[in-house]
Amino acid sequence: MFDTMTLTKILGAGCGALLLFLMGSWAAEELYHTGGGHGDDHAQGYVIEVPDSGAAVEEVVSVDIATLMLDADVAKGEKVFGKCKACHKLEDGANGTGPHLFNAVDRAIGSVDGYGYSTVLAELGGAWGYAELDGFLENPKGYAKGTKMGFSGLKKATDRANLIAYLETVK
């Protein structure tokens, strides 16, 4: 079997190899660092001019939420709600981190009693119609700058439409 000295040598060789690997990784990062990720506000790069080929540029088509609502799937919206339920409850009056979402569609913005809205939402006015919910769910901080909602938003328009359709059934 192994004696204590042999085990010490094996352990020392393993530690030495790990140290060598970490130092090599650090040296490579210092030599080949291209910026970004360490507080740099710029990254290296080059602009390559390409002559115009005359090919048609694909146009991004934006579909309004009312059109998407025609084909919205309530069951899929319930699944999308899984991203919301950590902060929002569906029961009337049961506020969590966020206000309850019972009867939220067409409800006045910032109107849930007992919930401390951010100033921007309290002063926004209007109601949570399809367009308002769509805009807020896509990018909460972009829609209402200064909102306390920390969620980054739902990027897929169909997910937003499905979620709105689901919330419309919660009454």
Q: Which CATH superfamily, name and number, covers 65-169?
A: Cytochrome c-like domain (1.10.760.10)
pLDDT of residue 106: 95
CB 106 within 8 A of CB 127: yes
DSSP E strand stretches across 2-133: none
CB 98 within 8 A of CB 88: yes
Weakest mean pLDDT among 36-45, 57-66, 67-76, 158-167: 36-45
pLDDT of residue 90: 93
Distance (Å, rounded) from C-alpha 69 to C-alpha 77?
11
Extents of the domains making up the chain: 1-31, 65-169
